[in-house]
Amino acid sequence: MGIKGIVKKAMELGEMGFNKEGGAINWFPGHMAAATRAIRNRLKLSDLVIEVRDARVCTRYIHYIPFSSAHQDLQPQLSAKRRIVALNKKDLANSNVLNKWVRYFDSCKQDCLPINAHNRSSIRKLLELVEFKLKEVISREPTLLVMVVGVPNVGKSALINSIHQIASTRFPVQEKMKRATVGPLPGVTQDIAGYKIAHQPSIYVLDTPGVLVPSIPNVETGLKLALAGSVKDSVVGEDRIVQYLLAVLNTRGTPLHWKQVANQREEITQISEDKPDYNPKDLRANRKRALNASDLLYVKDLVKEVQHALYITLSEFDGNMEDENELECLIEHQFEVLQRALKIPHKSSEARLMVSKKFLTLFRAGKLGSFVLDDVPE
């Protein structure tokens, strides 16, 4: 009952945008609705679909063939096509659970491959699978079309860019290839654009904006998508997303696995007074600004402090995790200790928001460990 109570309370807070019938997130920008209509038309012409999903988020739908980050409205059309489900961000997902999901997909006769969109070796394996799946079509079709689809922020554009880099060395491409626009916020890529990646036969890869289903079936699925970044934080609220994340970590007992970190914790490295304050965005992987040794040490120590704080609060908790009120009290206490661990001034009027943003950044960057939020169906 504990975590379900947290989810229920999230639904009752109206700003979240859930409807009274039970849980639709009202976040469906106009350009994405138009993109969905365009995708339906392009699907009729496509020879193969790469459906990109977040490897950390998987739900018991007829698909993801299960994941929460699958597009439910398009599943019937996608299932009718040659399709490869690419489980991106595998480096952020628990490998043992991810392997169970791969076996589940295999049992559903669905091609599935965990990938890291920024890793060339990983993308080469995906391209090999694409060629294998298209082998029977290549002999009779002069031009082949591959679509890349998925909900926001699962890494479609990053995947497209990696495919281009590899294709430029593997295939005799005749024209200069245009790169896709990449961004950390949901819905950054706003047009359907085509890229020629190979010649003889001509193979085009289309990058499409991720289109989130207009009606998410339940509140917890919406929270998982928000946690993975597929729904804008401002729609749900960083505070509420972190409440849910802490509820998940606590009920799973995850902080108790950080005992060794807590016991071996060293004093945080002193940062000189003239060092600028860290913006939460500084903790994200930024290819334009390489982190120096001091930055890396700072992040490492910050993670130790956060893990230590959560380990202590959970190990000292003697309440009932199934009682939503007691779980809520634990989470409130954890917000307080996280504020100290993250070096956020107590007098700050936006302290709770700052705690939420920094903690979410650490989680999404994989600094707190690897996770898969959905259970594999029996």
Rg (Cα) of the chain, in Å, rounded?
A: 22
176 with 76, same domain: the answer is yes
156 with 67, same domain: the answer is yes
Domain assignment present for residue 140? The answer is: yes
144 with 224, same domain: the answer is no
- The residue from 155, 186, 207 where one domain ends is 207
12 with 144, same domain: the answer is no
225 with 155, same domain: the answer is no
114 with 237, same domain: the answer is no
Q: Per-residue pLDDT tens, the chain, 378 aa: give them.
A: 556 666 665 554 444 444 334 445 555 566 666 777 777 777 888 889 998 988 887 543 323 333 455 566 677 777 788 899 999 999 888 888 889 889 988 998 889 999 999 999 999 999 889 888 888 777 777 778 888 888 778 888 899 889 888 877 766 544 545 555 555 566 655 555 567 777 667 777 876 656 655 456 777 878 888 888 888 888 888 999 999 999 999 999 999 988 876 666 544 444 333 444 555 555 554 445 555 566 666 788 889 999 999 999 999 999 998 888 899 999 999 999 999 999 898 776 789 999 999 999 999 888 988 888 877 776
225 with 363, same domain: the answer is yes
Count of domains in the chain? 2
181 with 38, same domain: the answer is yes
Domain assignment present for residue 354? The answer is: yes
Domain assignment present for residue 281? The answer is: no
pLDDT, tens digit, 9 for 90 and up, residues 348-364: 678 999 999 999 999 98
Domain assignment present for residue 19? The answer is: yes
Domain assignment present for residue 294? The answer is: yes
240 with 183, same domain: the answer is no
Domain assignment present for residue 275? The answer is: no
Domain assignment present for residue 274? The answer is: no
102 with 157, same domain: the answer is yes
Domain that holds residue 333: 1-25+216-269+290-377
148 with 221, same domain: the answer is no
CATH of the domain at 151: 3.40.50.300
Domain assignment present for residue 349? The answer is: yes
pLDDT, tens digit, 9 for 90 and up, residues 293-309: 666 667 888 899 999 99
What was the pLDDT predicted at 263? 67
229 with 260, same domain: the answer is yes
- The residue from 207, 238, 258 where one domain ends is 207
